[in-house]
Amino acid sequence: GNYLRRQPLPALPALYLLTPTVESVNRFLDDFREKKPPLYARAHLFFTSRISDALLAKIKNSAAAMRAIGSFKELNLEFALAEANVFTLNKPDALTTLFCDDANASVSALKLQEQHRIANSLATLFVALGDMPLIRFPSTAPRAAAVASVLQDKLDGLSRDAVGFPSRILTDAERPLLLLLDRSFDALSPLLHEYTYQAMVHDLLQVHDDRYKYSYTSNNNQKLSKEVLLNETDPLFVKYRHMHIADLGQRLHVDYKQFIAENKETADLNKGDQDMRAMRTGLQGVQRFQEQTGRYSMHISIAEELVKRYNGAGLEQISILEQSMAVGEEINGKPYRTAMADLRALLAKDDLLLSPEDRMRLVMIYMITQENIKQEDRRLLLEEAGIAPEDQVAILALFNLGVTLQQGVGARRKESKPAEKPQDTYDVSRYVPPLRRLMEEAATGALSVGEFPFVRAPTTLGMDQASSEVNSATGLNKLATWASSGSRAKTGTESGGGGGSGGSGDGGG
Distance of CA 375 to the CA centre of its chain: 35
Residue 208 DSSP SS3: strand
Chain Cα centroid distance, residue 29: 34
**Nearest residue to 230 via CA among 446, 416, 35, 82:** 82
| Closest by CA position to 28, among listed 56, 49, 52 | 56
pLDDT for the residue numbered 322:
97
Domain ranges of the chain: 2-75+492-496, 80-186+447-485, 197-312, 314-415
pLDDT value of position 341? 95
CATH 3.40.50.300 for domain 197-312, yes or no, is: no
- Residue 324 makes CB contacts below 8 A (sequence gap 6+) with 330, 331, 336, 339, 342
Q: Could you check whether 2-75+492-496 and 80-186+447-485 share the same CATH topology?
A: yes
Query: Among 171, 162, 89, 161, which residue's Cα sits nearest to residue 132?
Result: 171
Contacts of residue 380, Cβ cutoff 8 Å, sequence gap at least 6: none
Torsion sign (Cα): 143, 148, 149, 155: positive
Predicted model pTM: 0.79
Q: How confident is the model at residue 419, as a pLDDT?
A: 55
SS (H, E, C) 106-175: HHHHHHHHHHHHHHHHHHHHHHHHCCCCEEECCCCCHHHHHHHHHHHHHHHHHHHCCCCCCCCCCCCCCC
Closest Cα partner for 196 from 253, 255, 237? 237
Length of the chain: 509
Rg of the chain over all Cα atoms, to the nearest angstrom: 27
Structure confidence at residue 276 (pLDDT): 53
CA–CA dist 121, 333 (Å, integer):
44
One-letter identity of residue 169: I
Name the CATH superfamily, with its identifier, for domain 2-75+492-496. Sec1/Munc18 (SM) protein, domain 1 (3.40.50.2060)
Q: What is the largest CA-CA distance in the chain?
A: 83
Domain 314-415 class, CATH top level: mainly alpha
For position 459, what pLDDT does the model report? 80
Q: For residue 17, how far is the Cα from the chain centroid? A: 23
Rounded Cα distance, 395 and 392, in Å = 5
3-class secondary structure for 25-87?
Answer: HHHHHHCCCCCCCCCECCEEEEECCCCCHHHHHHHHCCHHHHHHEEEEEECCCCCEEEECCEE
DSSP state of 423: S
- C-alpha dist (Å) from residue 12 to 15, 25, 36, 217, 415: 10, 20, 17, 48, 65
Nearest CA-CA partner of 340 in 360, 356, 357, 324: 324
Which helix (H) or strand (E) segment holds residue 1: the answer is none
**pLDDT, position 6:** 85
User: What is d(CA 340, CA 7) in angstroms, rounded to the nearest whole number?
Assistant: 62
CATH of domain 80-186+447-485: 3.40.50.1910
With a CB cutoff of 8 Å and minimum separation 6, the contacts of 141 are 181, 182, 184, 185
- Per-residue pLDDT of the chain (509 residues), as tens digits, is 444 578 899 999 999 999 999 999 999 999 998 888 899 999 999 999 889 999 999 999 999 999 999 999 998 899 999 999 999 999 999 999 999 887 788 889 999 999 999 999 999 999 999 999 999 999 999 999 999 999 999 999 989 886 788 998 899 889 999 999 999 999 999 999 999 999 999 999 999 999 999 887 777 788 888 899 999 999 999 999 999 999 999 999 999 999 988 887 776 656 555 555 555 554 555 677 888 888 999 999 999 999 999 999 999 999 999 999 999 999 999 999 999 999 999 999 988 989 999 999 999 999 999 998 888 888 899 999 999 988 898 888 898 898 876 655 554 444 455 556 665 689 999 999 999 999 999 999 899 999 999 999 988 655 444 344 434 444 444 433 433 333 333 323 333 333 333 333 333 33
First CA to last CA across the chain, in angstroms?
Answer: 19
Q: Are strands 80-83 and 86-88 parallel, antiparallel or unpaired?
A: antiparallel
What residues form DSSP beta bridges with 86? 83
Q: What is the pLDDT of residue 505?
A: 34
